[in-house]
């Protein structure tokens, strides 16, 4: 089932789109009304596609958000717009959308565009992803701290914590900070060794000492397991 996020500043329109797509068999991950509302949702969830209004009222535009989603989150986007002029489309193309839906909508257009966009995106990244899946990730990370570069052994990493655009890497009694989203750091690590348990946390499976309900322990440190990530987290554990 395709999971979607709607980013639209007019709530009645966003709700209408969400309800239409649910009836068409897609799964909603929520509604955001601005750039700032969308960011925490994107950090906590993993949509298959984002339906994004080009104009988001005041503040940063849908095109600004679209660029971020494409470049940093690696999620396909489809723009929603009432404008069909060449100038608008030329500007929107900077975000590399997988398609457009022109207002007013109809169900067939929405469904067809989403299916085509997700399939187009899947084909576009399938070759690089296949290569990455067969490539062993490095056992070492190099972290730049001002003018110094420190080597970190991946085996020594306990957990990672997201803080806005930064990620803290906890190693034994020390921690390091890198100017990357948590998702970007995880792409550099073996997916079978590290797992997301919360919007703000990912942990080394080998370092888990106990799990109690929705709390995970690494030594004396306890971290919350969010409902969003719990199923995927439990699937990665070697439960017997």
Q: Pairing between strand 174-178 and 166-171?
A: antiparallel
Mean pLDDT of 184-202: 89
Which of 133, 159, 191 is at the close of a domain?
Answer: 133
Angle at 110 between CA 105 and CA 111, to 5 degrees: 150
* Candidate from 91-105, 114-128, 153-167, 219-233 with smallest mean pLDDT: 114-128
CB 142 within 8 A of CB 128: no
pLDDT at 172: 81
* Gap between the Cα atoms of 6 and 12, Å rounded: 12
Q: What is the pTM of this model?
A: 0.59
Confidence check: pLDDT of 84 > 80: no
pLDDT at 73: 86
Three-state secondary structure readout of 56-84: CCCCCCHHHHHHHHHHHHCCCEEEEECCC
- The residues, any chain, with a CB within 8 Å of residue 93's CB and separated by 6 or more, are none
What is the structure's pLDDT at 17? 92
CATH number at residue 211: 2.40.50.1020
Task: Indicate if 150 and 112 belong to the same structural domain.
Answer: no
Backbone phi, psi, residue 184, to 5°:
-70, -40
Q: What is the pLDDT of residues 202-232, one digit of tens each?
A: 999 999 999 998 999 999 899 999 988 888 8
Domain that holds residue 15: 3-133
The three-class DSSP label of residue 24 is coil
Q: H helices of 82-136, where?
A: 86-92, 107-133
Residues 15-45: b if buried by 16+ CB within 10 A, e if exposed: eebbeebeeeebeebbbbbbbeebbebbbbe
* 112 and 216 both lie in a single domain: no
Q: Are residues 92 and 206 in the same domain?
A: no
Note the pLDDT tens digit of each residue in 35-50. Answer: 999 988 888 888 999 9
pLDDT for res 135: 43
Model pLDDT for residues 121-130, shown as the tens digit of each residue: 887 765 444 3
Give pLDDT tens digits for 87-96.
778 888 889 9
CA distance 81 to 96: 15
| Cβ neighbours of 238 (radius 10 Å) | 5
CB atoms within 10 A of CB 234: 12
Residue 64 binned pLDDT confidence (cut-offs 50, 70, 90): very high
Element (H, E) at 19: helix 11-23
Q: Which two tokens stand for residue 46?
A: 């993993």
99 and 199 housed in the same domain:
no
Burial category of 215 from C-beta neighbours within 10 Å (exposed 0-12, middle 13-18, buried 19 and up): exposed
Last residue of a domain, one of 105, 133, 161: 133
pLDDT band at 146 (very low <50, low <70, confident <90, very high): low
What CATH number is attached to the domain comprising 59?
A: 3.40.50.2300
Query: pLDDT at position 132, please?
Result: 37
Strand partners, 3: 27
């Amino acid at each position: 089932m395709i999971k979607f996020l709607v980013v639209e500043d007019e709530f009645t329109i966003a709700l209408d789109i969400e309800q239409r797509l649910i009836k068409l068999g897609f799964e909603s991950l929520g509604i955001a009304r601005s750039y700032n509302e969308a960011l925490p949702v994107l950090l906590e969830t993993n949509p298959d596609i984002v339906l994004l209004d080009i104009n988001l009222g005041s503040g940063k535009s849908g095109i600004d958000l679209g660029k971020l989603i494409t470049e940093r989150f690696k999620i396909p986007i489809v723009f929603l717009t009432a404008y069909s002029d060449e100038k608008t489309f030329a500007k929107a193309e900077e975000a590399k959308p997988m398609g457009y839906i022109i207002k007013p909508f109809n169900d067939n257009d929405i469904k067809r565009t989403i299916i085509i966009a997700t399939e187009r995106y899947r084909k576009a990244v399938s070759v690089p992803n296949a290569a990455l899946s067969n490539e062993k990730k490095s056992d070492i990370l190099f972290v730049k701290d001002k003018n110094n570069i420190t080597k970190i052994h991946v085996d020594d990493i306990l957990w990672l914590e997201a803080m806005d655009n930064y990620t803290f890497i906890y190693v034994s009694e020390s921690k390091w900070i890198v100017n990357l989203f948590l998702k970007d750091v995880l792409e550099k690590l073996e997916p079978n060794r590290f797992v997301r348990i919360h919007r703000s946390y990912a942990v080394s499976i080998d370092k888990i000492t106990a799990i109690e309900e929705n709390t995970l322990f690494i030594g004396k440190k306890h971290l919350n397991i969010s409902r969003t990530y719990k199923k995927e987290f439990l699937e990665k554990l070697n439960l017997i």
